[in-house]
């Protein structure tokens, strides 16, 4: 799955920066359990084909509907330059069935250190 | 869950949509012909939109004389001009009252003046959606010069008792600026009878005009100094701003399409009658609230609003997520967050914000039924969270 382009953006009242992304394919339901490897996922299955939220504290949050080709992402502004590449990688690395998470894990750890240093100085 | 084929627009407290066909036509016509005006050489074919709009607004609000209605960009612009212009005549450190119900269009100008050390500010609390007149009276001190307050809360839809409050303020010689952004066009307003010194309005909400036009009514123009200077097309040999209204406050080229839209919008409202508009809004608002209250996990923050504004939250869901679901799954446009009124939210929901529905004359009963059902459906599923694995 790939992010094709950003179709809308705005600064939000809570201090985050929202970007809406257009994807090359509808989000499959299996995508949620994949996301759970990297943060907290909540799914309300009875709304549409399933409304989900993903939260990776200090990085970004994602929300959308299964079967939709757009997602809304809210970046923590202070570290957006560090985390945006990981978001793209999160989508491109997704494969139906078992996914190899090792590359993502390594990237996550590398970015995590820089995010923590930027936000908390350690 | 069925998505409505056409969007249901319930963000009318921010900007009304749709506009009456007469408004769209007026904008088209205003751009189709050159601007008419005395001293211009464009002939007399075009309409004098400035005068048309001024007289229409003055009629609707019972504001006399019409020249005491001045045009601005919007309500925020009006409030900045009024606040700064009034305080220009006060000494440094005078006392100003405002309320927790205010929009940032009032709060930010006042907090900035306080930060600069130019005023001492007291923010009054509200109770059950209203600022009590006795609370206002108790807050007045010998150096209180000004009170700025909203007429209708953009979060709670409550209309304030500006009549009683205005009387109290005037007994103590306090100048009274009222923010009418949410009330103009929604409820009958008689500025000739109300003890209000200045009333700010915007054109794109209840008055059914387009964004970019607003204004204010000023009972005694001498009490507010102009804070902008420039060309007025009058008394041009003078190097100083004219003192008379409305040129005292209207500088630069007018927004003719905005004024044409405003005149058409106000005339449209007058043709229906504000009372009829208010009655329909009251009925639809009551329906909405009755429906939402059927779900125990929906909190409605004012169950008896006087304006067609319904603020609510669904327990277990962020207001922002409810707005997202409404938009994507049902095609309903609502507003979420703080609605530029942070102090109200600190008082009612701990600063988290709410979902807000704002209705207009064009909101249909069918849309109300569909939207109420959608919110109830979301609420019924709010606790159905499952582990994606």
Best to test chain B binding among A12, A28, A38, A44 (most B CBs inside 10 Å): A44
Q: Is residue B388 part of a domain?
A: no
Which pLDDT does position A12 carry in this prediction?
83
**Angstroms from A32 CA to nearest CA on chain B:** 6
Contact list, A51 vs chain B (CB under 8 Å): 321, 324-325, 329
pLDDT higher than threshold 60 for residue B350: yes
What values do phi and psi take at B291, rounded to 5?
-65, -45
Q: Do residues B64 and B210 share a domain?
A: yes
Give the up-direction half-sphere exposure of residue B123: CA atoms within 13 A in the CB hemisphere.
15
What ipTM does the predicted assembly reach? 0.90
- pLDDT of amino acid B44: 53
Q: Do B381 and A44 touch (CB under 8 A)?
A: yes
The position carrying tokens 């009274």 is: B176
Output the pLDDT for position B90.
Answer: 92
Last residue in a domain, options B272, B299, B328 = B272
Tell me phi and psi for residue A95, to 5 degrees: -130, 145
Q: Which of B316, B319, B388, B389 to mutate to test the interface with A (most CBs of A within 10 A)?
A: B388
Cβ of residue B350 closer than 8 Å to a chain A Cβ = no
What is the arithmetic mean of pLDDT over B154-173?
98
Q: B316 and B255 share a domain?
A: no
Could you give the C-alpha distances from B253 to B136, B246, B248, B259, B329, in angstroms and in order? 40, 13, 14, 12, 44
Q: Quick: pLDDT tens for B115-126.
A: 999 999 999 999
Give residue-wise pLDDT tens across range B15-24: 999 999 999 9
CA distance B278 to A77: 43
What's the pLDDT tens digit per position in B209-242?
Answer: 999 999 999 999 999 999 999 999 999 999 999 9
The beta-carbon neighbor of B389 closest among A12, A36, A47 is: A36
Please state the domain count of chain B.
2
Shared-domain flag, residues B232 and B280 = no
Q: Is residue B180 part of a domain?
A: yes
SS (HEC) of chain B: CCCCCCCEECECCCCCCCCCHHHHHHHHHHHHCCCCCCCCCCCCCCCCHHHHHHHHHHHHHCCCCHHHEEEECCHHHHHHHHHHHHHCCCCCCEEEEEECCCCHHHHHHHHHHHHCCCEEEEEECCECCECCHHHHHHHCCCCEEEEEEECECCCCCCECCHHHHHHHHHHCCCEEEEECCCCCCCCCCCCCCCCCCEEEEECCCCCCCCCCCEEEEECCHHHCCCCCCCCCCCCCCCCCCCCCCCCCCCCCCCCHHHHHHHHHHHHHHHHHCHHHHHHHHHHHHHHHHHHHCCCCCEEECCCCCCCCEEEEEECCCCHHHHHHHHHHHHCEECEEECCCCHHHHHHHHCCCCEEEEECCCCCCHHHHHHHHHHHHHHHHHCCCCECCC
Residue B334 domain flag: yes
The answer on B180 and B310 residing in a single domain is no
Are residues B258 and B336 both part of a single domain? Answer: no
Same-domain pairing of B285 and B341: yes
Tell me the pLDDT band of A32, cut-offs 50, 70 and 90: confident
How many angstroms separate the CA atoms of B77 and B354, rounded? Answer: 26
Q: Name which of B130, B164, B151, B171 is nearest B78 in CA terms.
A: B151
Residue B386 in any domain: the answer is: no
pLDDT confidence tier of residue B247, bands split at 50, 70 and 90? very high
- In chain B, what residues touch A29 (CB-CB under 8 Å)? 388
Q: How confident is the model at residue B5 (pLDDT cuts 50, 70, 90)?
A: low
Q: Mean pLDDT across the stretch B146-168?
A: 98
Any idea which of A40-44, B37-41, B99-103, B278-282 has the lowest mean pLDDT? B37-41
- The domain boundary residue, chosen from B246, B272, B298: B272
Q: What is the pLDDT of residue B388?
A: 65
Question: Last residue of a domain, which of B254, B272, B290?
Answer: B272
pLDDT at residue B152, as a whole number: 98
Mean per-residue pLDDT over chain B, rounded: 95
Q: Does B328 touch chain A (CB under 8 A)?
A: yes
Closest chain A residue to B326, measured at CA: A47
Select the residue of B325, B338, B388 nearest A47 (Cβ to Cβ): B325
Q: Name the least confident of B29-38, B133-142, B368-377.
A: B29-38
Number of domains in chain A: 1
Least confident span in A9-13, A83-87, B322-326: A9-13
Q: What is the CATH number of the domain that holds B283?
A: 3.90.1150.10
Residue B389 within any structural domain of the chain: no
* Among A41, A51, A62, A71, the residue to mutate for chain B (most B Cβ within 10 A): A51
The answer to whether the Cβ–Cβ distance between B329 and A42 falls below 8 Å is no
Q: Are residues B277 and B189 both part of a single domain? A: no
B310 and B257 in one domain?
no
Q: Are residues B277 and B241 part of one domain? A: no
Domain shared by B160 and B232, yes or no: yes
**Greater confidence, B13 or B6?**
B13
At residue B255, the pLDDT reads 97
Residue B335 and residue B204 share a domain:
no
**Which has the higher per-residue pLDDT, B350 or B388?**
B350
Give the per-residue pLDDT at B3: 64
**Closest in A45, A64, A65 to B384, CB measured:** A45
Q: What is the pLDDT of residues B313-341, one digit of tens each?
A: 999 999 999 999 999 999 999 999 999 99
**Longest Cα separation, chain B:** 78
Question: B337 — contact with chain A (CB < 8 Å)?
Answer: yes
Note the maximum CA span of chain A.
42
The boundaries of the domain holding residue A68 are 3-120
Per-residue confidence (pLDDT) for residue A97, from 0 to 100: 65
CA proximity to B379, closest of B279, B297, B261, B289: B297
Task: Assess whether B204 and B230 both reside in one domain.
Answer: yes
Question: In which domain, by residue range, is B37 found?
Answer: 21-272
Q: Which residues of B touch A12 (CB under 8 A)?
A: 337
How far apart are alpha carbons B319 and A76 in whole angstroms? 19
Q: Residue A63 belongs to a domain with what CATH number?
A: 3.30.310
Angstrom distance (rounded) from CA B108 to CA B95: 16
CATH number at residue B51: 3.40.640.10
State whether residue B32 sits within 8 Å of chain A by CB.
no
User: In the predicted model, is pLDDT for residue B39 greater than 60?
Assistant: no
Q: Does B378 touch chain A (CB under 8 A)?
A: yes
């Amino acid at each position: 799955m790939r992010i094709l382009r950003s179709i809308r953006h705005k600064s939000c009242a809570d201090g985050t920066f929202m970007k809406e992304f257009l994807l090359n394919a509808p989000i499959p339901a299996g995508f949620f359990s994949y996301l759970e490897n990297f943060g907290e996922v909540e799914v309300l299955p009875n709304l549409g084909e399933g409304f989900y939220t993903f939260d990776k504290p200090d990085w970004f949050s994602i929300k959308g509907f299964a079967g939709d080709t757009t997602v809304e992402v809210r970046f923590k502004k202070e570290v957006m330059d560090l985390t945006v590449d990981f978001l793209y990688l999160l989508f491109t690395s997704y494969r139906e069935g078992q996914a190899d998470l090792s590359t993502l894990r390594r990237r996550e750890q590398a970015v995590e250190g820089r995010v923590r240093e930027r936000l908390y100085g350690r | 869950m069925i998505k409505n084929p056409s969007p249901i627009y319930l963000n009318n407290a921010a900007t009304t949509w749709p506009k009456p066909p007469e408004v769209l036509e007026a904008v088209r016509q205003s751009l189709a012909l050159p601007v008419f005006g005395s001293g211009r050489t464009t002939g007399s074919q075009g309409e004098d939109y400035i005068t048309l709009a001024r007289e229409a607004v003055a009629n609707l609000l019972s504001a006399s004389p019409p020249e005491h209605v001045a045009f601005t960009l919007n309500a925020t612009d009006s409030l900045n001009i009024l606040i700064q212009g009034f305080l220009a005549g006060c000494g440094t450190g005078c006392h100003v009252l405002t309320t927790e119900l205010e929009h940032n269009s009032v709060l930010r100008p006042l907090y900035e003046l306080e930060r600069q050390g130019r005023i001492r500010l007291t923010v009054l609390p509200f109770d059950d959606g209203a600022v009590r007149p006795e609370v206002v009276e108790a807050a007045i001190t010998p150096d209180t010069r000004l009170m700025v307050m909203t007429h209708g809360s953009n979060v709670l839809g409550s209309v304030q008792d500006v009549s009683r409050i205005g009387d109290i303020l005037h007994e103590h010689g306090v100048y009274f600026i009222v923010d009418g952004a949410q009330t103009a066009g929604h409820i009958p307003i008689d500025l000739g009878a109300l003890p209000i010194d200045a009333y700010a309005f915007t054109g794109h909400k209840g008055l059914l005009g387009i964004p970019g036009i607003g204004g204010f009514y000023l009972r005694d123009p001498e009490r507010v100094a102009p804070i902008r200077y420039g060309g007025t097309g009058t008394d041009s040999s003078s190097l100083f701003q004219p003192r008379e209204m409305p040129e005292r406050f209207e500088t630069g080229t007018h927004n003719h399409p905005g004024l044409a839209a405003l005149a058409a919008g106000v005339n449209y409202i007058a043709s229906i009658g504000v009372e009829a508009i208010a009655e329909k809004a009251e009925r639809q608002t009551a329906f909405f609230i009755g429906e939402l209250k059927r779900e125990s996990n929906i909190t409605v923050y004012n169950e008896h609003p006087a304006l067609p504004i319904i603020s609510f939250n669904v327990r277990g869901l962020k207001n922002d997520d409810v707005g997202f679901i409404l938009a994507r799954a049902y095609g309903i446009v609502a507003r979420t967050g703080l609605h530029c009124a942070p102090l109200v939210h600190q008082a009612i929901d701990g600063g988290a914000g709410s979902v807000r529905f704002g209705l207009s004359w064009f909101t249909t009963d069918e849309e109300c039924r569909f939207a109420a059902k959608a919110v109830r459906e979301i609420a019924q599923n709010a606790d159905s969270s499952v582990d994606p694995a």
